[in-house]
């Protein structure tokens, strides 16, 4: 449970307690009065004639439905490459621990009413596949412990790496996410009743849809039936069905998570724009994109008088992609530097108590940058830093600060925000 929720629970408990105390005092005063009149003969003073108190009539009060505001925080691709897996391994205890990567963003994520990201890869165990990175991602289950503890609630699992460890890996990944109390969207253990996840977030009903544009040519590892039912591939008919279902279920907000676009392209494709337009026209409110591994523009758009929001790509949240690792593979520094950039998009949604009207109230951006360095014991560490909190920190070296500065301005320029 996040801090806000706990606080709300506490407040609720406090007001309930208050109510109980008031009832208690009222009951006690009635009891004392009652006792007094029954035992009047024992009293020294003659009983005074007191006008009988009118029983308090409870006027039925009209139920006041308060406005509700929630914050949803969304971020991009979470990937685990070999150097991250090695860096998280403790040879003495033979265990993995990935918490260090999330330590600087935990407070930001835990503070959300709901935090969501794209989990790019699988957790298939290490019996059939070893723990490995690109091109067939398979991370230890412990990555999900760290992701959960960082504050994530929902992971989108429909992406081009969903089938990296085949059907068994796809299924096990969903199970491992779910067993830790997180929801997964976009891939399934078995044919689902509905492809849509509906969650009540503090009284606002949010529907989550998730689809991927590509499967890295691994489509053939699944039977046509499994491909149709266990993973959501971008499909206009299915998307329209899912939005219609969310509306039927009276969802207040419809969020579509899309894995799409061209890798390392800092602008969205015409296809992304067309799919977004279709989704918004049908009734989606928010589109959260990923896959390009760099940040693409975010925009608010008006549809039928309602403000909609699309982030075409939220970049990498955590990975080993960066200048040092991509330039040796032939990528230019100019392109590869953007893979170090991430962002948490903080979307405030309000539901009016009186009218039930739901709207996007505010959108804020928290630019992130992934640090890679050596630990005191010679290991490798990857840490996601919220730039504004760490740009002045003495814990961050000068080179990282220069890179953070570059990252911050480029990310904010893409978000069209100041």
Please enumerate in sequence order all residues whose Cβ is within 8 A of that of 127, keeping only pairs 6 or more positions apart, or say none: none
String of contacts with Zn ion for each residue 236-255, x by CB under 5 A: --------------------
Residue among 246 and 311 whose Cβ is closer to Zn ion: 311
Residue among 73 and 291 whose Cβ is closer to Zn ion: 291
Position of minimal CB gap to Zn ion = 291
Place of tokens 């015409």: 270
Task: State the minimum distance, in angstroms, from the CB of residue 259 to Zn ion.
Answer: 6
Cα 158 to chain centroid, rounded: 15
Reduced to 3 states (helix: H, G, I; strand: E, B; else coil), residue 268 is coil
User: CA 213, CA 184: separation in Å to the nearest integer?
Assistant: 18
DSSP assignment letter at 181:
T
Report if residue 372 touches Zn ion, rule: CB under 5 A. Answer: no
Kindly state the number of chain residues that form the binding site for Zn ion, as judged by CB under 5 A.
3
Task: State the minimum distance, in angstroms, from the CB of residue 261 to Zn ion.
Answer: 9
Reduced to 3 states (helix: H, G, I; strand: E, B; else coil), residue 290 is strand
User: CA 183, CA 177: separation in Å to the nearest integer?
Assistant: 7
Task: State the minimum distance, in angstroms, from the CB of residue 139 to Zn ion.
Answer: 15
User: CA 175, CA 69: separation in Å to the nearest integer?
Assistant: 31
Residue among 173 and 400 whose Cβ is closer to Zn ion: 173
Residue among 159 and 336 whose Cβ is closer to Zn ion: 159
Task: State the minimum distance, in angstroms, from the CB of residue 291 to Zn ion.
Answer: 4
Point out which span in 36-44, 228-236, 276-284, 289-297 binds Zn ion (CB under 5 A): 289-297
Point out which span in 137-145, 158-166, 167-175, 245-253 binds Zn ion (CB under 5 A): 158-166
The DSSP secondary structure of 49-78, one letter per residue, reads --PPPPPPP-PPPPPPPPPEEEEEEEEEEE
Point out which span in 81-89, 155-163, 267-275, 347-355 binds Zn ion (CB under 5 A): 155-163
Task: State the minimum distance, in angstroms, from the CB of residue 112 to Zn ion.
Answer: 23
Task: State the minimum distance, in angstroms, from the CB of residue 214 to Zn ion.
Answer: 8
Task: Please answer whether residues 74 and 289 qualify as being in contact, where contact means their C-beta atoms are separated by less than 8 angstroms.
Answer: no
Q: What is the CB neighbour count within 10 angstroms for residue 207?
A: 25
DSSP assignment letter at 229:
H
Residue among 335 and 363 whose Cβ is closer to Zn ion: 335
- Which residue among 291, 322, 372, 382 contacts Zn ion (CB under 5 A)? 291
Report if residue 160 touches Zn ion, rule: CB under 5 A. Answer: yes
Alpha helices (runs of H) in 166-300, residue ranges in sequence order: 166-179, 224-229, 236-248, 270-282
User: CA 278, CA 248: separation in Å to the nearest integer?
Assistant: 19
Task: State the minimum distance, in angstroms, from the CB of residue 311 to Zn ion.
Answer: 15
Residue among 159 and 339 whose Cβ is closer to Zn ion: 159
Q: What is the CB neighbour count within 10 angstroms for residue 372?
A: 19
Task: State the minimum distance, in angstroms, from the CB of residue 23 to Zn ion.
Answer: 58
Residue among 162 and 400 whose Cβ is closer to Zn ion: 162
> What sign for the dihedral angle of Cα 86, 92, 97, 98?
negative
Residue among 291 and 351 whose Cβ is closer to Zn ion: 291
Residue among 159 and 268 whose Cβ is closer to Zn ion: 159
- Which residue among 101, 122, 156, 159 contacts Zn ion (CB under 5 A)? 159
Please enumerate in sequence order all residues whose Cβ is within 8 A of that of 240, keeping only pairs 6 or more positions apart, or say none: 282
Question: Under the rule (CB under 5 A), what is the footprint of Zn ion?
Answer: 159-160, 291
């Amino acid at each position: 449970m996040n801090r806000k929720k706990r606080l709300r629970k506490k407040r609720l408990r406090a007001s309930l307690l208050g109510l109980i105390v008031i009832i208690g005092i009222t009951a006690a005063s009635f009891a004392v009065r009652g006792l007094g009149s029954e035992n009047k003969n024992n009293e020294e003073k003659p009983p005074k004639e007191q006008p009988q108190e009118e029983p308090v009539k409870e006027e039925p009060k009209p139920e006041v439905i308060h406005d509700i505001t929630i914050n949803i925080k969304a971020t991009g691709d979470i990937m685990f490459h070999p150097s991250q897996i090695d860096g998280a391994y403790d040879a003495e205890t033979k265990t993995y621990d990935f918490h260090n990567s999330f330590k600087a963003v935990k407070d930001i994520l835990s503070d959300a009413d709901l935090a969501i990201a794209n989990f790019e890869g699988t957790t298939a165990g290490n019996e059939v596949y070893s723990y490995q990175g690109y091109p067939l991602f398979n991370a230890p289950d412990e990555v999900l412990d760290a992701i959960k503890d960082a504050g994530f609630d929902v992971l989108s699992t429909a992406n081009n790496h969903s089938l990296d460890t085949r059907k068994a890996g796809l299924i096990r990944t969903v199970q491992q996410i779910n067993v830790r109390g997180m929801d997964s969207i976009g891939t399934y253990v078995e044919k689902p009743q509905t492809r849509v996840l509906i969650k009540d977030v503090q009284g606002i009903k949010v529907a989550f849809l998730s689809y991927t544009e590509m499967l890295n040519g691994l489509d053939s590892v699944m039977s046509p039936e499994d491909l149709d039912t266990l993973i959501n591939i971008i499909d206009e008919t299915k998307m329209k069905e899912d939005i219609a279902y969310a509306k039927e279920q009276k969802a207040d907000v419809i969020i579509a998570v899309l894995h799409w676009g061209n890798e390392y392209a800092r602008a969205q494709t015409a296809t992304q724009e067309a799919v977004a337009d279709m989704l918004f026209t049908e009734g989606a409110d928010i589109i959260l994109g990923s896959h390009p591994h760099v940040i693409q523009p975010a925009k608010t758009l008006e549809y039928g008088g309602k403000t909609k929001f699309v982030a075409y790509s939220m970049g990498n949240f955590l990975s080993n992609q960066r200048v040092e690792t991509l330039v040796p593979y032939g990528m230019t520094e100019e392109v590869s530097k953007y893979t170090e950039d991430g962002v948490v998009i903080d979307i405030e949604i309000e539901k009016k108590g009186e009218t039930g009207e739901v709207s996007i109230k505010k959108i804020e951006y928290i630019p992130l940058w992934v640090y890679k360095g050596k630990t005191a014991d010679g290991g490798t560490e990857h840490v996601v830093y919220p730039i504004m909190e760490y740009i002045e920190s003495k814990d961050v070296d000068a080179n990282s600060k220069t890179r953070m500065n570059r990252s911050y301005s480029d990310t904010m320029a893409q978000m069209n925000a100041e």
